[in-house]
Structure 1
Amino acid sequence: MIVFDLKCSRHGHPFEAWFGSSADYEDQRTRGLLTCPVCGDPDIDKALMAPAIPAKANRRSDTPAPSSVAMAQGPQAVEAAKARAVIEQLAKAQSEALKDSQWVGRQFADVARAMHYGEQDHASVHGEVAPEEAKALMEEGVPVAPLPFPVIPPKAQN
C-alpha cells in the first residue's frame, strides 16, 4: 500500500488517498474514478509531498516538521505550521521557566522592589503589573521582563 497527498485542480483542496501501487493510482485517475471529497472535481493531481526520511539520532530536532498537508496547501500553510511550532516551543520554555517560580499576583511590583533593594531574599517570582508600573520598575533598574504568554493565576485554574 502507498499513500499519496492529492489535490483538486479547481480549488486546490488537499486530501490523501491509499493505493495498492503507483500504477493503481494512475489507472484510477485516467479512468476518472478519483474525485475531490470536498467539491467533487474529477481533475485530481498529486500534491507536493515531503519525504518521510528520519533524521539520524544525533541530528534530531524537537521542532516538528511542517506536515505534507501544509506543504500541499502552499507557502502560507508552511509558514503557519512553522509559526505554530515556534509558539509551542516558546510556551514550553515559559512553562519550564515558571516551574520553580512563585506566583505573587498583584503584589509583583512590591515583591520585585523588595528583592532589588535587599529587603527580601531573592527568588524567582511572577505576577501581574500594569504597563506603567512595569515601566517604572525598569526605570528604577529592577530586573523584570514580560512573559510572552499570559499566565492563569493558580486560584483561577480548574
Structure 2
Amino acid sequence: MKVLNLRCAHEHRFEGWFASDEDFESQATRGLVGCPACGDTAIAKLPSAPRLNVSGLKEEGAPTDRPAAAQAAALQAVQQLMARTEDVGERFPEEARRIHYGEAEARGIRGRATAEDAQALREEGIEVVALPVPAALKGPVQ
C-alpha cells in the first residue's frame, strides 16, 4: 500500500492510499480521486518523504499543521450540521417558506436551491446560507 500526499486545485491537502503510483495515476485520470473537502477532481501528487515517528521529539507548545487542523474542523462542523438538520432535497425553497410562514414545524433543514431561489428567499426575509458539502460526506465512503 502506498500513501501519497495529494492536493486539489483549491489547495486542500490530504492523503490517499493506493496500491501503486500507477493505480493513483489510473484513478486520477478517470476522475475517481476527489478532494474530501470540496470534491474537486483536479488532484496533484505532492513530494513526500518517508514517514518517521518523531511524535516524541515535538516540543511542547510547538505549532501544529494549521491548514490541516482548520480543514478537519470545517469537515467536523459540516458533519455536525448534517446530523442536526433534515435533508429536504429539491424541496428546500418550498419547505423554507412553509416554515417561515408557520405552515410547517420549525426545524433545521438543508437541501438544494438555485442561486435565484436563494436570492428570492432572502428577499422574503428568509435567511439561507450556501454550504458546499464535500462528496465524501454525502454518502457512504468506501
- TM-score of the two chains, using structure 2 as the length reference: 0.52
Letter in 2 for 1:120: A
Within 1, Cα distance between the matches of 2:51 and 2:121? 58
Residue among 110, 113, 116 paired with 1:129: 113
Within 1, Cα distance between the matches of 2:70 and 2:100? 33
Q: Compared with structure 1, are the counterparts of its residues 151 and 124 closer, same or farther at alpha carbon in structure 2 (3 Å cutoff)?
A: farther
C-alpha RMSD over aligned residues: 3.2
Within 2, Cα distance between the matches of 1:144 and 1:131? 11
Superposed CA deviations along residues 8-44 of structure 1, whole A, max 9, x for unmatched, are xxxxx874698xxxxxxxxxxxxxxxxxxxxxxxxxx
Query: Per-residue deviation at 1:152?
Result: 7.4
For CA contacts below 8 A with separation 6 or more, give which structure has more relative contact order: 2
Superposed CA deviations along residues 58-87 of structure 1, whole A, max 9, x for unmatched, are xxxxxx812xxxxxxxxxxxxxxx333322
Question: Secondary structure of the equivalent of 1:126?
Answer: strand
Within 2, Cα distance between the matches of 1:120 and 1:17? 54
Larger radius of gyration: 1
Question: Any gaps of 5 or more consecutive residues in structure 2?
Answer: 1-46
Structure 1 residue 83 and structure 2 residue 89: aligned?
Answer: no
- TM-score of the two chains, using structure 1 as the length reference: 0.47
Letter in 1 for 2:73: Q
Runs of 4+ aligned residues of structure 1 deviating over 2 Å after TM superposition are 13-18, 82-85, 148-154
Question: Any gaps of 5 or more consecutive residues in structure 1?
Answer: 1-12, 19-50, 56-63, 67-81
Residue among 105, 108, 114 paired with 2:89: 105
Q: Count matched residues.
A: 90
